[in-house]
Structure 1
Amino acid sequence: MCSLEKRGKVFILTLLGDDDHRFNPTTLDAISGALKEVEESPDAAALVTASQGKYFSNGLDLRWIAEDPNARLDIIRDKFENVLATFMRVGIPTVAAIGGHAAAGGLILALAHDYRFMTEGRSVLYMSELDHGMHLPRSLMALIRSKLHPAALRDVVLGARKLSAQMGMERGMLDGVCEDPAETLETAVREAEKMVGRGWKREVYRGLRLSAFPGVVEELDAHRDSYRFA
């Protein structure tokens, strides 16, 4: 499902395989396990999240959910929100290396990181909920709203626009655009290594992130409402 590689004090979490990296209990538990390993490592000073194949992630596993929507929507909500909250709480800088499409929950996962670099080309940033007739929990909207400028929020959430890497860069969603997935990953790792060299204290970094995006983790922890289809 995912692997965890260590390069000095930078940990690289990679979503494995050539599929579209959908989120279901199995994949989310694997990511949670990797994050726990990072948190428990005294050597970890930055985290990069990457993926194999042409997708960063295509979001929730709708096929798995469709087998029992009433029960499974709440299960997936809790596990996904817990993963996002962990990314927001981890006391080290986080960088998303978006080497392919980041749609719906995949885009939300990328937004949970501190920095984002993306491969140029056909890959898009896309919130598909409007097109699928799907309501988002207020917790996820809190995270999205905290990371996007108002005009970008309108285009992404209320316009369901499919944004290229360059369009995402213009809207302040990305910190850099790269030629191919390999360069995207290496750029993300280099940026992470720069931050490692600053020697920041985990508790200070964690506290400043939570203060910079107030209320987001509290909403994620509360599990107030569920995904639902119109």
Structure 2
Amino acid sequence: MCTLEKRGNIFVLTLIGEDEHRLNPKLIKQILSALRQVRAESTRGTALVTKSEGKFFSNGFDLAWAAAAGNESASRMVDLFQQLVAELISFPLPTIAAVIGHAAAAGFILALSHDYVLMRRDRGVIYMSELDIGLTFADYFMALMRSKINSPIARRKVALAAAKVKADEAVKMGMIDSAHDSAEETVEAAVRLAEQLIGRNWDGEVYADIRKSSFPELCEVLGLIDKAKASSKL
């Protein structure tokens, strides 16, 4: 489950509850619905902060649901999550993930789909578990990691060593933006960053277009092929 609230010009999306926030079609659709509400209600100079409750930011896809639903339904879940990643990459406002618990597999991909990732240092890891459980990556997972994690050594550690990376190391490896001492400090830092960004009063569609232009390979894989450019105002 997730909730959406607006604090001034900051939208706050929260994955609620003490569970692992496993990404099944129900939760993915709820997040998509919340993002589309933000898109509809956003004005110039707004931002989104995504956070969670409990020990987990998200522990990835709901594998128990997928096993019960069958391969075809599981494949549709992966495709539906691609829509969520595409929504964030094309979102017309700055986005910040406040990762205050474990972010594994698709849960890390969800965080990485935001513009900024802030993480709690005293609890929680980044972990791409696919190698350990015998699954391959969806093509858009790898495209996102290539686009957002510049160091091939860092990508190797995450993808080919299935390393569980804590916040301070993730900062050093260039995978996240900052590490903070508690859940409260992580969320507070995310809100402060959001306030700084909305103070610039950027045009959201221009922001989204520049973001998409920054990640051409990812946008091609996601089907975001709109190459429209904002008109010059010289």
TM-score of the superposition, structure 2-length normalised?
A: 0.92
Matched, 1:46 2:51: no
Q: Distance in 1 between matches of 2:55 and 2:219?
A: 30
- In the TM superposition, residue 42 of structure 1 has moved relative to its aligned partner by 3.4
Using the TM superposition, give the Cα deviation of residue 144 of structure 1 relative to its aligned residue in structure 2, in angstroms.
1.3
**Residue identity matched to 1:135:** T
Cα distance in 2, alignment partners of residues 22 and 217 from structure 1? 25
Counterparts of residues 161-172 of structure 1 (less than 5 Å): 161-172=163-174
- Which portions of structure 1, spanning 4 or more consecutive aligned residues, are displaced by more than 4 angstroms? none
Q: Which residue of 1 aligns with 2:217?
A: 215
Secondary structure at 1:91 match in 2: coil
Task: Give the counterpart letter for 1:193 in structure 2.
Answer: E
Query: Are 1:191 and 2:193 matched, yes or no?
Result: yes
Show the counterpart of 1:30.
Answer: 30
Deviations, residues 113-163 of structure 1 (Å, cap 9, x unaligned) = 110111112311000000011011212210111111211101000110000
Mapped contact 1:82–1:221 kept (Cα < 8 A):
no
Q: What letter is aligned with 2:30?
A: A
Aligned partners of 2:32, 2:42: CA distance in 1, in Å?
18
Deviation at 1:189, TM superposition (A): 0.8
Deviation at 1:68, TM superposition (A): 3.2
Could you give the per-residue CA deviations for residues 79-127 of structure 1, whole angstroms, max 9, x where no partner exists? 1000000000001110000000000000011110110111112311000
Please tell me whether the aligned partners of residues 11 and 38 of structure 2 are also in contact (alpha carbons under 8 angstroms): yes
SS of the aligned residue for 1:177 comes to strand
Any gaps of 5 or more consecutive residues in structure 2? 225-234
Alignment partners' CA distance in 2, 1:73 and 1:136: 14
Match for residue 62 of structure 1?
Answer: 63
SS in structure 2 of the partner of residue 123 of structure 1? coil
| SS of aligned partner of 2:4 | strand
Shift of 1:212: 0.6
Output aligned runs, 1:92-131, within 5 Å: 92-131=93-132
- Gapped regions of structure 1 (runs ≥ 5): 223-230
> For residue 183 of structure 2, what is the amino acid of its counterpart?
P
CA apart distance, 1:218: 2.7
Identical-pair percentage: 47
Which shows bigger deviation, 110-119 or 135-144? 135-144
SS in 2 for 1:56: strand
Q: Partner of 1:145: helix, strand, or coil?
A: helix
Q: Answer yes or no: is the 8 Å Cα contact 2:100–2:123 preserved in 1.
A: no
Superposed CA RMSD = 1.2
Asked if the contact 1:81–1:221 (Cα under 8 Å) also holds between the matched residues in 2, the reply is no
For 2:52 and 2:221, the matched residues in 1 are separated by: 27
> SS of the residue aligned with 1:67?
helix
Q: 1:42 to 1:102 in 2, by over 3 A?
A: closer
Are residue 17 (structure 1) and residue 17 (structure 2) matched? yes
TM-score by length of 1: 0.94
Which one-letter code corresponds to 1:173 in the other structure? M
Deviations along 1:157-186, whole A, 9 cap, x unmatched? 011000011111110111111111111111
